[in-house]
A and B are shown apart, each in its own frame.
Chain A
Amino acid sequence: MNAGASGNGGGRAAAELHAELGGVTRVYPAVAGYRPVHALGPVDLDLRRGEFFSVVGPSGCGKSTLLEVLAGLQPPSEGKVSFEGKPVHGQVPEGVGVVFQEDASFPWLSVWDNAAFGLRRAGVDSAEIERRVGDALAFMGLKDFQRAYPAQLSGGMRQRVCIARTLVLQPRLILLDEPFGALDAQTRLLMGDEVLRLWRRTGATILLITHALDEAAMLSDRVGVMSARPGRFLDLVETKWPKERDSTIVSEAGFGEVTARLWHHLRGESLKALGQSGAAAAGGRAEA
């Protein structure tokens, strides 16, 4: 929390490099009867320490692949990946936390045990686990549900459990893979506020993958717009929002400009992603 306060002030000015993709591509090898799929890149990305970076792109453009390559969950086919100056390969580096789109809360564990899962496996002593888990659950508004099981919670609450489970490990880089994709629009906006709160408090660098333009525009310092597959960055949009912001930013004039700029790139790419046959029909309906 203290680190957060000092981290973001310094982070902005110095723009210290935190994680990096250099000329990264990802080609899924051919499976019997199918041709290899070129899913991503080449992509270059410099994440600055403490920034909130979002990636938007049409569905199937390789956004999730980008995140998994950066996390070390998948190897790049070409190019290099590094986190805090050290190359990433074969393993998720210490200090990186990931929250997935699917509900990954463990149904056989209570909310408390879910949150404590990583710490217990890492052999952290019980007093420290108690403190960090209590803290994270309170922060995510789960204090009253700590004895409940995920099956008793709503989708949004379960996603909070997953965030708390990542948070207790005190990651310095948090990767969010469309964590609110399955939630309704109102809940998503509110969860966005929580992520901003979390970002300010932890001082971590955040990379958010999303297909929601408004979400990207409202939350981020920078937004990378990706093309249809194979995904490449078409544009990097700096929002210049103040650090202290929340979902009310949607009513500001700048918000519309940012969203319009994102949509300017994405409209064509989304049509491409829909494919030749669907493009004509979708073009008629889509209002730019």
Chain B
Amino acid sequence: MSDAAKRSFDILLVLVALFAGWQALYHVAGETALTSPAQTLAYVGELLTTKGDMFARHAWETGRAFLMALGLSYAIGLAIGVALGAHRLSGAVAEPILVALYSLPKVTLYPVILLVFGLGLSAKVAFGAIHGVVPVAVFAMNAIRNIKPAYLKTAKTMRLGPFQVVSTVIFPAALPEIVTGLRVGFSLTLLGVIIGEMFASKQGLGFMVINAINLADVETMMAVAFLLFVAAAIANGILLWIDHWLHKRV
């Protein structure tokens, strides 16, 4: 109980520090660069109430694109990762390629994606998905490759069938690492979708931000950024909690 209390206190401390820093920055940089925490929160309230319809339309657009991109990056990433993890030689060949792709600034590929998928939802989804696929695949591949040989030998001495080996040994042994990959993939897919919306899009939260920047509408820019930050922090917190829960036994 006191552990939980201490944790909440730590989180509160970080939040207070963040807001204090933000307020200080506001005083240094001034009105033209950013709004104060109080102003931002007030405008967030406005976005969620009187301007709710407009905000909801953009948020829904982003949410829909993000969920599709996430589904794709998880499905494709896991398929690639599992296949490469199960086949040692392919994994050894693919790993340097994947790592190179991982560090490549993917925004350089965006023109190509726009040419392939055209303007609109599919380009955003594809751009989000290519951000998420690589970490999901790399983590899943390593999770399976690094399973201790002794676990598999133990499964053999227990005379398990192939399906039992996968479901009762390989899957639980690889799960913690796979979930770490899903968590990293989640953040990067969101990043990809938002960046995708910033260019060549007329809808979505990314568009709202870039449009506000063009109009020097600091209030909107800050409020949307704040809401995105909150949503991402909550989602990441949940995934991190699952991640830790799975890892603490390893």
Interface residues of A (CB under 8 A from B): 68, 71, 73, 91-92, 94, 96-98, 100, 102-104, 106-109, 117-118, 121-122, 149-151, 162, 165-166, 169
Contact A92 B159 (CB under 8 A): yes
Taking the complex as formed, is B249 at the interface, i.e. its CB lies under 8 A from any CB of chain A? yes
How close is A71's CB to chain B, nearest CB, in angstroms? 7
Q: Which one of B150, B151, B164 lies within 8 Å of A121 (CB-CB)?
A: B164
| Given A106-B172, A108-B172, A73-B157 contact (CB < 8 Å) | yes
Contact B249 A107 (CB under 8 A): yes
Majority SS at the chain B contact face? helix
Determine the distance from Cα of A38 to Cα of B77 in the docked complex, in whole angstroms. Answer: 41
Contact B250 A98 (CB under 8 A): no
Residues of A within 8 A of B172 (CB): 106, 108-109
Contact A121 B157 (CB under 8 A): no
How close is B155's CB to chain A, nearest CB, in angstroms? 9
Contact B249 A98 (CB under 8 A): no
Most buried by B among A68, A102, A165: A102
| Given A100-B150, A102-B148, A108-B175 contact (CB < 8 Å) | yes
Determine the distance from Cα of A106 to Cα of B156 in the docked complex, in whole angstroms. Answer: 14
Contact A73 B249 (CB under 8 A): no
Determine the distance from Cα of A97 to Cα of B158 in the docked complex, in whole angstroms. Answer: 8
| Given A106-B172, A108-B175, A91-B154 contact (CB < 8 Å) | no
Across chains A and B, the number of contacting residue pairs, with CB separation under 8 Å, is 59
Q: Which of chain B's residues 112-167 have a Cβ closer than 8 Å to chain A?
A: 148-151, 153-154, 156-160, 164
Contact A149 B249 (CB under 8 A): yes
Residues of A within 8 A of B169 (CB): 106
Closest to A104 in B: B150
How close is A85's CB to chain B, nearest CB, in angstroms? 19
Taking the complex as formed, is B6 at the interface, i.e. its CB lies under 8 A from any CB of chain A? no
How close is B177's CB to chain A, nearest CB, in angstroms? 12
Contact B175 A169 (CB under 8 A): no
Determine the distance from Cα of A98 to Cα of B149 in the docked complex, in whole angstroms. Answer: 14
Residues of A within 8 A of B173 (CB): 106, 108
Taking the complex as formed, is B168 at the interface, i.e. its CB lies under 8 A from any CB of chain A? yes
How close is B173's CB to chain A, nearest CB, in angstroms? 7
Closest to B176 in A: A108
How close is A116's CB to chain B, nearest CB, in angstroms? 11
Closest to A169 in B: B158
Residues of B within 8 A of A151 (CB): 248-250
Contact B157 A97 (CB under 8 A): yes
| Given A91-B159, A108-B175, A169-B158, A98-B151 contact (CB < 8 Å) | no
Residues of A within 8 A of B168 (CB): 117, 121
Determine the distance from Cα of A103 to Cα of B150 in the docked complex, in whole angstroms. Answer: 8
Q: A102-B149, A121-B160 are known; give 6 further A-B pairs, CB within 8 A.
A: A68-B153, A98-B154, A98-B157, A117-B158, A118-B158, A121-B164
How close is B76's CB to chain A, nearest CB, in angstroms? 26
Determine the distance from Cα of A149 to Cα of B247 in the docked complex, in whole angstroms. Answer: 12
Closest to A93 in B: B159
Contact B151 A106 (CB under 8 A): yes
Contact B158 A104 (CB under 8 A): no
| Given A73-B153, A102-B148, A121-B158 contact (CB < 8 Å) | yes
Closest to A101 in B: B150
Contact A94 B250 (CB under 8 A): no
Q: Which one of A73, A94, A104 lies within 8 Å of B151 (CB-CB)?
A: A104
Determine the distance from Cα of A165 to Cα of B153 in the docked complex, in whole angstroms. Answer: 14
Contact B148 A104 (CB under 8 A): yes
How close is A121's CB to chain B, nearest CB, in angstroms? 6
Contact A108 B249 (CB under 8 A): yes
Residues of B within 8 A of A162 (CB): 154
How close is B248's CB to chain A, nearest CB, in angstroms? 7
Residues of A within 8 A of B175 (CB): 108
Residues of B within 8 A of A100 (CB): 150, 153-154
Contact A98 B153 (CB under 8 A): yes
Residues of B within 8 A of A94 (CB): 159
Determine the distance from Cα of A40 to Cα of B148 in the docked complex, in whole angstroms. Answer: 24
Residues of A within 8 A of B157 (CB): 71, 73, 92, 96-98, 166
List, sorted by A's number, 30 A–B pairs whose CB atoms are closer than 8 Å.
A71-B157, A73-B153, A73-B157, A91-B156, A92-B156, A92-B159, A97-B157, A98-B153, A100-B153, A103-B150, A104-B148, A104-B150, A104-B154, A106-B151, A106-B173, A107-B249, A107-B250, A108-B172, A108-B173, A108-B175, A108-B246, A108-B250, A109-B172, A118-B158, A121-B158, A121-B164, A122-B159, A149-B249, A150-B249, A169-B158
